[in-house]
Amino acid sequence: MSPQQEITNLTVLIRKYNRQYYSGDVSEITDGEYDALMNRLLFLERENPEYCSVDSPTARVGSAPLTSFSGVIHDPPMLSLSNAFSRDDFLSFNSRVLNLLKLDQVKYSVEPKLDGVSLSLVYENSVLVRAGTRGDGIRGEDVTDNARTIRSIPLRLNAHRLSVEIRGEVFFTVKNFKKLNRRREESGESPFANPRNATSGSLRQLDSTVTSLRPLSFMAYATGRYPDGLETQEDLFKKLHMWGFMVNRQNRICDTPEQVIAAYNNFVEVRADLPMEIDGMVIKLDSFSQRAEAGSLSRAPRWATAWKFHAEEMSTTLIEIEIQVGRTGRLTPVARLEPVKVGGVIVTNATLHNQDEVIRKDVRPGDIVIVRRAGDVIPEVVTSLPVEGAARAKAFKMPGECPVCKGPVVKPDGEVNLYCINPSCEARIRRSLEHWASRKALDIEGLGKKLCEQLVDAGMVNSIAGLYSLKYHELTALERMGELKATKLFAALEKSRTIPLSRFLTGLGIPGVGEVASRDIAAEFRDLKTLGDASEEALLEVKGIGPVTASSIREFFTNSVTSSVIEQLVKAGFNPVEEVSGKGISLAGEIMVFTGTLEMPRQKAKELAMGAGAKVTSSITGKTTLLVAGKNAGSKLVKAEKLGVRVLSEKEFLESAVN
């Protein structure tokens, strides 16, 4: 078979499996088989670049960074929607529509209003040629390279030579958003405030390889112009799905206003359980000809409206801005609020993130502010509403010293946050005790937030090590601490002394070292002494550890206060090691690829890797964690480097797999 033919065949097959995957159908093949097809296609395209097309399924890993976005013009413009906030608002919308159309009843399509970023996708002859953000509705930004990295955006439609503009929403599922923020916190980056911000930030990256590592999703809900032969939104959703798009499973057709109201009430109820955040329900005339008759105003159509959920944003008065000091010393401004019920929960505090945010939103004590709760995210102050003529407090400024220990604060280069750098700061100690006792660290039953606070306030404990020299009679002297409780706590503390190195490390709370990094570091160094002696260079060898984290680890082990805490823990009987079985599980969790010519047979190498706990796949994707490169490694090596995947030589691999 000619390479051209094979490329075509593989492309057809891979597209089919992509569709199965994204329409939620059962996949006919395993991930490994999928990777094998992809890998073969990558190989053929590399060897025969003349047959490589822009819509190849391999085009998902991002391309060279841009210096700026160019503009796109939306024709027809991307309109916004009028809002309804209540049943009455909806009923007046409905009356207006019926009046315009001179009808007694109409069918509506009701759809969850996804809280993401809207995107226009232009397909020519079924191939994705351009993606643009909404911008002001007429002019947006060209984010084609970024859109190509989103796996639920088909690069080619499942249709014959179709030219069409698809409109829809890019968003993070709640699960992916949490995962992204966890990853960011572990690597010392500040988390995104909410999925919408994260989406917009990810979509507007000049370097599309960054976007390719952000697990975004896309759902379609409209076309630029109505395609020939389609008459209703219901038909359109069927077609969109057939062409290869995800459409929302919650979309419904309603025959009566009562059904629309019931659908709204249902959304309010199921909202918290949906996989993505929604901020309301969009109501559209189902019939396209009725839409044409109803027409549009300059900014919004008369045939649709967004019935917004109300309760998750409320206004209240900001009493004062307090500074919270976290375990790492980070200073976070927190708004103390007049209690207000937001989305069914009483909120008294909301985060203001950092000084830049407080200034940007210009919130001051005494202001009327809007507070938002979105899903599980901590409540935040969205904005302040100026009251004309009212006197205001002075603009907020972060303090020049730690509000708890009065020690100096610093702002590291390139950071928006300020830090208290005194490791003996009481606030930091309290928080580090809580963290040490938490489930993901030492999991010390009975040592909760309240007790941590009591112990520090009573001056009984001034570091995590202090927990292990507590005396029984001291403990029972505390309020609400009976003998039984004290005995149990001692038993839990005793048990915690045998914790493995990875959990011990997590518990130390070294900046930038979360659960994942702790496991990787522990697997590499195995015991505390070896880790304590490790140089920055040696630390940098560990997967996922960059220069900032490496230096933060060194600093922790050499700083006089933190190193003495470690010493005291050792004296208290800690000797944490990471157990690695004889066969070696040092590659556990790795998703590995081999490339190039190896000295040993490829199969043997794979077996070794799997025996050491790794999963072996054949192509480099955003999930790959490790590449073993033999002689004459080619495009996979380039791609791995581009994605920042750790690369080992065959010799290095042997050393890590066979120990």
Residues that bind ligand IVH (CB under 6 A): 79-81, 111, 113-114, 118, 134, 169, 221-222, 282, 301, 304, 306
Q: How far is the CB of 118 from ligand IVH (least distance, A)?
A: 3
Of 16, 113, 361, 488, which residue is the catalytic one?
113
Q: How far is the CB of 112 from ligand IVH (least distance, A)?
A: 7
Q: How far apart are CA 509 and CA 635, in angstroms?
A: 39
Q: How far is the CB of 170 from ligand IVH (least distance, A)?
A: 9
Nearer to ligand IVH, 113 or 435 (CB): 113
Nearer to ligand IVH, 79 or 580 (CB): 79
Q: How far is the CB of 283 from ligand IVH (least distance, A)?
A: 10
> In the Cβ-directed half-sphere of 156, how many Cα atoms lie within 13 Å?
20
Q: Name the DSSP letter for residue 275.
A: S
Rounded CA Rg of the chain? 29
Q: How far is the CB of 165 from ligand IVH (least distance, A)?
A: 13
Nearer to ligand IVH, 282 or 591 (CB): 282
Provide CB contacts within 8 A for 3, sequence distance 6+: 44, 47, 48, 51
Q: How far is the CB of 262 from ligand IVH (least distance, A)?
A: 18
Nearer to ligand IVH, 254 or 508 (CB): 254
By the 8 A CB rule, do 119 and 169 touch? yes
Q: Which helix (H) or strand (E) holds 591?
A: strand 591-595
DSSP string over 78-112: ----EEE-SHHHHHHHHHHHHHHHT-S---EEEEE
CA distances from 494 to 452, 454, 564 (A): 17, 20, 21
CA distances from 335 to 346, 369, 383, 385 (A): 14, 10, 12, 15
Active site residue 604: no
Nearer to ligand IVH, 38 or 263 (CB): 263
Nearer to ligand IVH, 120 or 502 (CB): 120
Phi-psi category of residue 172: left, alpha or beta, with phi > 0 → left and psi -120 to 50 → alpha: beta
Q: How far is the CB of 159 from ligand IVH (least distance, A)?
A: 22
Residue 171's CB is within 10 A of a number of other CB atoms, namely 25
Nearer to ligand IVH, 305 or 354 (CB): 305
Q: Is the dihedral of CA 64, 68, 69, 71 positive or negative?
A: negative
Q: How far is the CB of 495 from ligand IVH (least distance, A)?
A: 51
| φ and ψ of 615, to 5 deg | -105, 130
Q: How far is the CB of 111 from ligand IVH (least distance, A)?
A: 4
Q: How far is the CB of 248 from ligand IVH (least distance, A)?
A: 7
Residue count (the chain): 659
> In the Cβ-directed half-sphere of 517, how many Cα atoms lie within 13 Å?
28
By the 8 A CB rule, do 553 and 539 touch? yes
What tokens appear for 192 in the block? 């995104």
Nearer to ligand IVH, 277 or 578 (CB): 277
Q: Which residue is nearest to ligand IVH (CB)?
A: 118
By the 8 A CB rule, do 613 and 583 touch? no
Q: How far is the CB of 139 from ligand IVH (least distance, A)?
A: 15
DSSP collapsed to 3 states, 397-430: CCCCECCCCCCEEECCCCCCCEEECCCCCHHHHH
Phi-psi category of residue 173: left, alpha or beta, with phi > 0 → left and psi -120 to 50 → alpha: beta
By the 8 A CB rule, do 209 and 643 touch? yes
Nearer to ligand IVH, 282 or 542 (CB): 282
Nearer to ligand IVH, 44 or 306 (CB): 306
Q: How far apart are CA 312 and CA 599, in angstroms?
A: 61
Nearer to ligand IVH, 165 or 650 (CB): 165
By the 8 A CB rule, do 362 and 374 touch? no
CA distances from 327 to 189, 335, 426, 427, 515 (A): 15, 19, 10, 7, 16
Alpha helices per DSSP H over 204-345: 208-212, 233-243, 257-270, 288-294
Nearer to ligand IVH, 224 or 326 (CB): 224
Q: How far apart are CA 508 and CA 518, in angstroms?
A: 10
Q: How far is the CB of 274 from ligand IVH (least distance, A)?
A: 13
Alpha helices per DSSP H over 528-643: 528-533, 536-540, 547-558, 560-571, 602-611, 635-643
Point out the residues that are catalytic: 113
